[in-house]
Amino acid sequence: DSGVTQTPKHLITATGQRVTLRCSPRSGDLSVYWYQQSLDQGLQFLIQYYNGEERAKGNILERFSAQQFPDLHSELNLSSLELGDSALYFCASSALLGAGELFFGEGSRLTVL
């Protein structure tokens, strides 16, 4: 158990809809990363928050947004969903801003029909 909790584990929705994925980092970790994993692209970095502030952006679509709350949990919002958004979405946390040892949750599997 990594200590990172993600909900929901599975989500099925329709094109055009909006969903919210939730992540609780390990106790004490200030940094939260979101990654998207698909079969053809592998793990793709989306966005990072550190202690409530956005610190880095990767290949995140404009339809996607995220935030980190004062209690350090994070949410990833995906809107105007398309079939191609179907993927596993992972949250990872670390204690330090530039740490390479990340602790991943078990992921949220999103299926867009």
User: At closest approach, how far in Å is the CB of 15 from another protein?
Assistant: 25
Closest CB to another protein among residues 20, 44: 44
Which helix (H) or strand (E) segment holds residue 10: the answer is strand 10-13
Q: Please tell me the distance from the alpha carbon of residue 76 to that of residue 74, in angstroms, as a whole number.
A: 7
User: At closest approach, how far in Å is the CB of 100 from another protein?
Assistant: 5
User: At closest approach, how far in Å is the CB of 16 from another protein?
Assistant: 28
Closest CB to another protein among residues 14, 42: 42
85 phi/psi in degrees, rounded to 5: -80, -10
Binding site for another protein (CB under 8 A): 2, 4, 33, 35, 41-45, 48, 55-58, 90, 92, 97-107
- For residue 108, the SS3 value is strand
84 phi/psi in degrees, rounded to 5: -70, -10
Closest CB to another protein among residues 71, 101: 101
Please say whether the beta carbons of 61 and 9 come within 8 A: no
